[in-house]
Amino acid sequence: MNLFVDYKKKISDILKNLESKKVIKLPNTLNALTVELPPKNQNADISCNAVMILSKYNLKSPTEIANLLKENFLKAFTEFDSIDVAKPGFLNISFKISFWEDYLFKTINLGSKYGSNKRVKKKYNIEFVSANPTGPLHVGHCRGAILGDALSNLLEFNGNEVTREYYVYDYGEQIKKFVESVYYRILEILEKKPFPNNENLYPGDYIIDIANNIIKTQSIKNYKNFDNIYSELSKESLKESLALIKNNLNLIGVKHNNFIHESDLINKNKVQITIENLKNRNYIYKGKLSAPKGEANTDWKKRNQILFKSTLFGDDTDRALQKENGDWTYFASDIAYHSNKVDRNFDILINILGADHAGYIKRIVSATKAISDNKVDLICKVSQLVKLYKKGQPFKMSKRKGNYITVDDLVKEVGKDSVRFMMLNRSNDVELDFDFEKVTEKSKENPVFYVQYAYARINSIFRMLNLDLKKNIELNSERFILNKHEIEILKKISEWPKVVETTSIKLEPHRIPFYLYDLVTLFHSYWSLGNESKDFRFIVNNKKKSASKLLLLQALSIVIENGMFILGVSVPKSM
């Protein structure tokens, strides 16, 4: 139920009917036709640009076309109360109150489905977080995790099938250094040997916790020889680290339903198989690459390498697949992983990448095109950096040194709801300043509080009237009526399906907290009017002012619930 999409189609049908009667001529397409909200200074409900489209095409003045359309629209749409013409050629349309009554009841009846768009159901794979399993998640991971989770909620709200996936990078030098760090901590605990002063190791306190947990399992009896126990110690260390990561994710309400391990792909020879597949399609060759931009030519050694023809698919340069020592590059393993995704028959793949991986997008998109013969779309969303501030001073992070701000630290400081809402309150492609003081304020300046407080206020009204917010309200003999302020709230409510559709098309969940904040601002402002006049109150002398007002509150609560569901933020009934 999208008011603007529905009326675009209805108006298009009327225009086509007028063309069939030789009243007007239409262009080949009506794609330029829009039905939007009018400017705030215009007293109308919706606005249409049909006059602008048809005036030039029919060689008639805007006034003549406007009068023609106004006459026909008022005949065809009995729900239209009036139509005003605004320059340079907009029809500003106002609905009768009976239309809003009907719309309100439809909204309430749809409930948790209000705003969802289930026209085309697709199968999505959203890969997000995928941090190296070498320790707890920090705030940078947090933003990408919440972005991926909110996008998953959004797509599921629209009836799509979504796999929330974590790719476990459990192979390579970083993992070896991580396991080695655990090993030295174990020796420190069992044999009092000092932990090496080596900048390549992970000295964080969490390594001590992992070491103690492994000791308790007694899965390894003898720690004398690192090489002999590496396989088992690696398995146990990664299990402990992943448990820590999953716990961090749980604190912010994120749960993946699928984990793919890089080591499994390596051990099953998936990389070699994928490279051979691409080679058979003439996408692989041996050649030499020039020095990357910004790297001194004197430091660059040209050598024959196995290269992927990434430039065939829009990349800036072809990409190396093998290191000088013969090991596969990070990119080669990633190609194998995306081949695995393609094999699982998803319609659309979405990767949430950190800010430091923005330069990686072209090559992995190129690889996915090659693997799938251009049949599978890969969309990459970059989650930019988060800057933490407390008492005016920035916090800094360093994963190796172990003094970074973890997800656990952040949630303990401000709570899950504040973390999620504020992480989604800015576009993912811009840096985010996260101010500890601001997100704990109980004021209009704290958006999450302001939205939750609106929902709590609605619940308080129903509690005072001893009514269930979820039960149907009957008008009975009461005449449906809303004042202009209430109609403005209802008009904003009618925007919700459009917001969901735009957010879904652009994959930009930050539009939802913006919308919710604007919506509840109207409500809180109206609440304040009740302090000046009883006419604007919902309760007078402990009785409801009108059933119409309560219906409006029910619809408002539904939109807040649906929006906060997508954001993964709670809606407390009291605050």
* Residue pLDDT, tens place only, 39-55: 888 889 999 999 999 99
Return all residues near 530 (Cβ < 8 A) that are at least 6 apart: 536, 537, 538
d(CA 275, CA 572): 52
Which pair of tokens denotes residue 295? Answer: 């790297």
State residue 396's pLDDT score. Answer: 63
Statement: residue 398 has pLDDT above 60: no
Q: How confident is the model at residue 294 (pLDDT cuts 50, 70, 90)?
A: low
Peptide bond into 88 cis (omega under 30): yes
- Which DSSP string corresponds to 246-310? HHHHHHTT---SEEEEHHHHHHTTHHHHHHHHHHHTT-EEEE--PPPTTS-GGG-----EEEE-G
Domain with CATH 1.10.730.10 in the chain: 447-567
Domain with CATH 3.30.1360.70 in the chain: 3-95
Pairing of β 80-86 and β 319-320: unpaired
Statement: residue 6 has pLDDT above 50: yes
Instruction: Say which residue the tokens 């809402």 belong to.
Output: 421
State residue 428's pLDDT score. Answer: 93
State residue 435's pLDDT score. Answer: 87
* CATH superfamily label, 447-567: Isoleucyl-tRNA Synthetase; Domain 1 (1.10.730.10)
Q: How many CA atoms lie within 13 A of 575 on its CB side?
A: 17
Lowest-confidence region among 104-118, 133-147, 389-403, 421-435:
389-403
Lowest-confidence region among 101-115, 193-207, 286-300, 487-501:
286-300
Percentage of residues in the chain with pLDDT exceeding 90? 76
Instruction: Say which residue the tokens 């009957």 belong to.
Output: 474
pLDDT per position as a tens digit, 191-206? 999 999 998 999 888 9
Give the single-character DSSP code of 314. Answer: T
State residue 399's pLDDT score. Answer: 46
State residue 300's pLDDT score. Answer: 61
State residue 296's pLDDT score. Answer: 54
Q: Give mean pLDDT, residues 393-419.
A: 76
State residue 297's pLDDT score. Answer: 57
CATH number of 3-95: 3.30.1360.70
